[in-house]
Amino acid sequence: MNDSLQRLVDKIQEQPWFQSLRSKWDELDAQSRLYLQGAAAVGGLLLLGWLVLGTWWRVHSIRNEIADKDEIIRKIQSATAERDALKARIPAGRDTSADSQPWPAYFEAAAAMAGVDKTALEVSPESAGTGGEIADEYFYELSLKKVNAKQLAKFLFQAENGRRPAKIRKLSVETAPDMSGALDARLSMVVYKIKNPS
């Protein structure tokens, strides 16, 4: 290895352009040589700094790209888990077309099981969400008037844990202004209509 390097150095020193540079270097005075050596050192440091900065920037960009892809993977895993949970709620061999109860009636049944009077519940018209491979997504806005904390808790449990797939996305609760301890609640529900398997 050292012999090869020495041969390369000797070959460079034999080149006419190197001989010309060497003669010009020998003609310079000591101060000029010192200036040139300083300029070469500064240039070398600048080149080294540029190389280090470029390498750091490439590493930083790769790390950001990895972080973005990790976030995408987490979202895919979360969506897959949610899809699997929906599929698990469909009993084997169940005919999903038989589950045709309208969602407002489903919420009214949940209210009845929680001891909430039918007149205390209001259900907005359905609004469509996104469609998926297993189920289509829809949204409802519900309001409960003058219920107690126990009734509200039971209703929320029945609505989200009944025989049909539904989730609470947003909930706001206010106490009635008459200081009776009654509660007024508004909630957003997302529901899933399971598609019939083809």
| Residue whose token pair is 């049909």 | 164
Q: Is 0.85 topped by the overall pTM?
A: no
Domain locations along the chain: 2-69, 100-194
CA distance 56 to 65: 14
- Say which residue the tokens 């289509």 belong to: 136
Provide the 3-class DSSP secondary structure of residue 117: coil
Residue 7: which H helix or E strand, with range?
Answer: helix 2-13
> And the tokens for 65?
């790209």
Residue range 101-106: average pLDDT? 86
Is the pLDDT score of 115 beyond 70?
yes
| CATH class of this structure's domain 100-194 | alpha beta
Q: Give the pLDDT confidence score for residue 99 in this predicted structure.
A: 56
Summarize pLDDT for 117-126 with one digit per residue, the tens: 888 889 998 8
pLDDT digits (tens, 9 = 90+) for 39-58: 778 888 888 888 888 888 88
Percent of the chain predicted with pLDDT > 90: 3
